[in-house]
Structure 1
Amino acid sequence: MDAFWQFAGRMLRYKSTIVWAMVFAVLSAGGLGVGLVSIAPVLENILAETSRGLPDLALAYNERVPGFLAWAQLPQGVLDQLPEGRFTAVVTIVSVLGVLTLFGGVANFLHAYLSLTVVYRTTTNIRREAFHRAVRLPLKTVVTGGTSDLVSRIVNDTNQLSQGFATLLSRTVAQTTKGVAGLVAALVLGPLLVLSALPVIVLLYVVIRRLGKKIRRASRGALKSQAGMYASTTEVLQGLRVVKVYTTERYEAGRFHRINKRFMKDMMRVRV
């Protein structure tokens, strides 16, 4: 993992793009949190027998917000400007939710767009550097080790890095910010329920962390097996004349089968 983080640090070359991607991720998560908090009064106002207007709903919301989230309360100036009426309250909240949904979708798209821009530019730079290193290697090293491993490093390994960068900068950030927004919304709607669920969250964290370590070890073995499969295939196809002359097709097929089975076992470990 140290090598991965060393390569991931190269994404900091595009700091401004990363900052804007984080801003849009926070905005997208904020829209989700506001939407979760706002949907409750809509359902209550539609299903309840007694009607309440927007001022009453806003006052009830401020009373429900815990003290440590006082910054999330609506100011009195906003409460004074809210219109009265049950139907007006429902229409206004639903309209705001529609705008928030559109805004959140745009922010989510921009976050993914900017994040993947950084990922692909960084991966392209790493791939170019790897190719420059490969063509400057001593000829003896290339002939002895074979070209398949170098091709795998330049093409396959950089693709794996790209997937890791995308997970780190795009999906991880998006899901983390949305999780925080959902947690804040849950604290506003039902703080006692959230506190009672904290032990389960800790347990899930421990389980997911252990599974993550196991998957990383299995993935490392799968990559080694894949490199061996590249090497075996390249050696046989490049030396196919020798294989035909000495009629070793059966031997080479058996060797490839063993490597292929080892690769399958490593992939099965990743699956589990």
Structure 2
Amino acid sequence: MINFKKIFPFIIPYKKYAYLNIFFNVLYALFSTLSFVSLIPMMQVLFDQTKRNTVLPTYKGIWELKKYGEDYLSYYITNTTDSFGVGHTLSIMVAVIIVIFLLKNISDYMAMFFITFLRNGVLRDMRNAMYKKTIDLPLAFFSEKRKGDVIARISADVNEVQTSFLSILELIVKEPLTIIFTITTMFTISMKLTLFVFIFIPVSGYVISLIGKQLKKKSTKAQQEQGIFLSTIEETLGGLKVVKGYNSERYFNRIFQESTQRFFTLSNSIGNRQNLASPASEFMGIMVIAILLWYGGHMVLIEKTLNGASFIAYMGLAYNILTPAKSISKASYAVKRGNAAAERVLEILDQENTIKSKVNAIKKDSFDTNIVIKDINFKYEDENVLKHFSLEVKKGQTVALVGQSGSGKSTIANLLTRFYDVNKGTISIDGLDIKDMNIHSLRDLMGLVTQDSILFNDTIKANISLGKHGATEDEIIEALKIANAYEFVNELPLGIHTNIGDSGNKLSGGQKQRLSIARAVLKNPPIMILDEATSALDTESEKFVQVALENMMQNRTSIVIAHRLSTIQKADLIVVMQKGKIVEQGNHEELIALNGTYNKLVTMQSFE
């Protein structure tokens, strides 16, 4: 129930639908009970057992309500039969029963009609909240979580909360009220018989509750397993070239089938427990009714303390408890299953976002003097990636970071953009600590071009417009020209309106990279960060991209993380890194003259 309290805020916007659902559920429970009670006078008329009463009764208070109702009904039946005949009276009784059953079913439909808006509204809002939280969370969170598992939580688990967890509304209103109204009516017909029934109900309830044990635990395992095979699908589709190139279809097939087999086993176990709930509750109910038949029959035939018509209606009422009892047992299992899903959903929603703007964060919309990285330490897990690292980048400078893989070059880009936060030390822009800046305004100052060209399954226009929402076609074309990409885009069938496929797979590596550069150009930020933007390209593509980069870096402050040293020889400052520390810095000629680490790297690459 703790999880339900946390889910409750999603229900509040739809509380009017909840109230209407409760109102019609109350009517349903009332008409459901009356539908069986209405059989009593009909059967009395049918078998000529109605007590004759020609005197109109008088109301003597609520404690005499049952007697007043019986006397008034017998008076009405007697008066109507005497005036119009027994056939007319029977027709009225049948019409009343039809109307009551009609009202019962209309109430049931209206209750379900309004709960549908609540269920689907909560489903939509939870998915929206999950997606928003997912894209707000720092990158570090996703280094620990499988992407497929997050997808499973947003899709399957949220759906489980909607279908299973929200059945608690039915659990606490519709079915319990039906049982309460029914039992109250049973008490008015025969208190002795009803007390006799109550001896057996707790026993049957205990037997049913035994079935539900372990359900939540197994449901959690099943949902985790669903996350695993969704991750396998996502990873396989993302790396299909590698899977096929290494003839690894059989291996990945086995991994996937092992996961779905575990899910199959868990689902069968959960399903069979749930399936057992309904027949078990019905059988226990029939046992109670069988005992009722024996004891009630004794009251009708031997003790003569109960008339036949009332006993038949009483049996109908007793059976009327079975349906809501079955629903409650099913719903209680659904709640356990939904509780497991809710825990997984809330784990994301309750996750603290460690990288966010302060309450009074400063919005900065210009870059005036310099970027200062002062004595920073940073580690992803246990070992420091950067150690006492300090660097100043002046406005208008092109600063290149070079070094072997793992030296910490890309980490600098991650820290400047606050994808991660430094463990120690400070990074400041124009003397202002970036932790004191509004995170959106910080990232507005920067353009990022990464080694992997991250494009989306949309048109070229839509992909480039991420740099500037609402950009005109002329602005997009100008950005493409600067990025040395307009020529190939213009040759495409639909030009900038061409869809480039999943991850831009309809384009070559060089074409994708030039579109990434065009996106950064359109954004037109004062600071440009290029994270090994040409390292994944062939020589011809690299030349095109290099021209695009040089066009883009004009009159901008640029931080270039480079693997190919030929691309950064014109940089104002080259910083050579090794194991998270600066070992050399200067321009190309100065570093060559030092005949140190940089010279060795240049020499090695010249022979590649």
Q: TM-score range by the shorter chain?
A: 0.7 to 0.9
Q: Counterpart of 1:62?
A: none
**Stretch moving more, 179-188 or 117-126:** 179-188
Structure 1 residue 148: Cα displacement: 1.7
**1:210 is matched by which residue type in structure 2?**
L
Q: Counterpart of 1:65?
A: none
**1:248 is matched by which residue type in structure 2?**
S
Compared CA separation, residues 16 and 70, structure 1 to 2 (3 A): farther
Structure 1 residue 80: Cα displacement: 9.2
Alignment RMSD (CA, Å): 3.0
Instruction: Quote the Cα distance in structure 2 between the aligned partners of 1:51 and 1:158.
Output: 57
| Partner SS state of residue 213, structure 1 | coil
**Residue 15, structure 1, aligned to residue 15, structure 2:** yes
Instruction: Quote the Cα distance in structure 2 between the aligned partners of 1:126 and 1:77.
Output: 56
Q: Counterpart of 1:225?
A: 225
1:8 and 1:165 in contact (8 A); partners too: no
Instruction: Quote the Cα distance in structure 1 between the aligned partners of 2:68 and 2:222.
Output: 54
**Residue 153, structure 1, aligned to residue 153, structure 2:** yes
1:27 and 1:107 in contact (8 A); partners too: yes
| Partner SS state of residue 137, structure 2 | coil
| One of 80, 84, 95 as aligned partner of 1:84 | 80
Q: Counterpart of 1:64?
A: none
Structure 1 residue 36: Cα displacement: 0.7
Structure 1 residue 180: Cα displacement: 2.3
Compared CA separation, residues 30 and 44, structure 1 to 2 (3 A): same
Compared CA separation, residues 71 and 246, structure 1 to 2 (3 A): farther
**2:267 is matched by which residue type in structure 1?**
M
Instruction: Quote the Cα distance in structure 2 between the aligned partners of 1:34 and 1:73.
Output: 17
Superposed CA offset, 1:36-81 (max 9, x none): 1120231232134x5656x58x99xxxxxxxx98555545995597
Superposed CA offset, 1:167-192 (max 9, x none): 22246633222222322333333433
Q: Counterpart of 1:34?
A: 34
1:115 and 1:166 in contact (8 A); partners too: no
Structure 1 residue 129: Cα displacement: 0.7
Instruction: Quote the Cα distance in structure 2 between the aligned partners of 1:74 and 1:120.
Output: 47
Identity %: 20
| Partner SS state of residue 247, structure 1 | coil
Q: Counterpart of 1:106?
A: 106
Compared CA separation, residues 128 and 70, structure 1 to 2 (3 A): farther
Q: Counterpart of 1:213?
A: 213
2:44 and 2:50 in contact (8 A); partners too: no
1:37 and 1:188 in contact (8 A); partners too: no
Instruction: Quote the Cα distance in structure 2 between the aligned partners of 1:36 and 1:130.
Output: 47
Q: Compare relative contact order (CA 8 Å, sep 6+) and give the higher one, 1 or 2.
A: 1
Q: Counterpart of 1:43?
A: 43
1:130-149 pair list within 5 angstroms: 130-142=130-142, 145-149=145-149
**2:135 is matched by which residue type in structure 1?**
V
Instruction: Quote the Cα distance in structure 2 between the aligned partners of 1:172 and 1:99.
Output: 27
Q: Counterpart of 1:239?
A: 239
Superposed CA offset, 1:187-246 (max 9, x none): 333433322221321122222333223322221221111111111222222212222222
Compared CA separation, residues 111 and 74, structure 1 to 2 (3 A): farther
Structure 1 residue runs without a partner (length 5+): 60-67
**1:37 is matched by which residue type in structure 2?**
V
Q: Counterpart of 1:267?
A: 267
Q: Counterpart of 1:2?
A: 2
Structure 1 residue 126: Cα displacement: 1.1
Instruction: Quote the Cα distance in structure 2 between the aligned partners of 1:212 and 1:8.
Output: 24
Instruction: Quote the Cα distance in structure 2 between the aligned partners of 1:115 and 1:15.
Output: 10
Compared CA separation, residues 80 and 36, structure 1 to 2 (3 A): closer
Instruction: Quote the Cα distance in structure 2 between the aligned partners of 1:169 and 1:72.
Output: 32
Instruction: Quote the Cα distance in structure 1 between the aligned partners of 2:63 and 2:263.
Output: 52
Structure 1 residue 96: Cα displacement: 1.4
**Stretch moving more, 10-19 or 157-166:** 10-19
2:33 and 2:181 in contact (8 A); partners too: yes
| Partner SS state of residue 212, structure 2 | helix
Structure 1 residue 130: Cα displacement: 0.7
1:31 and 1:104 in contact (8 A); partners too: yes
**1:94 is matched by which residue type in structure 2?**
V
Instruction: Quote the Cα distance in structure 1 between the aligned partners of 2:29 and 2:187.
Output: 15
| Partner SS state of residue 252, structure 1 | helix
**Stretch moving more, 219-228 or 10-19:** 10-19
Q: Counterpart of 1:203?
A: 203
Q: Determine which structure has more spread, i.e. the larger CA radius of gyration.
A: 2
> Between Structure 1 and Structure 2, how many residues are aligned?
262
**1:24 is matched by which residue type in structure 2?**
F
| Partner SS state of residue 25, structure 1 | helix
Compared CA separation, residues 182 and 127, structure 1 to 2 (3 A): same
Instruction: Quote the Cα distance in structure 2 between the aligned partners of 1:22 and 1:198.
Output: 27
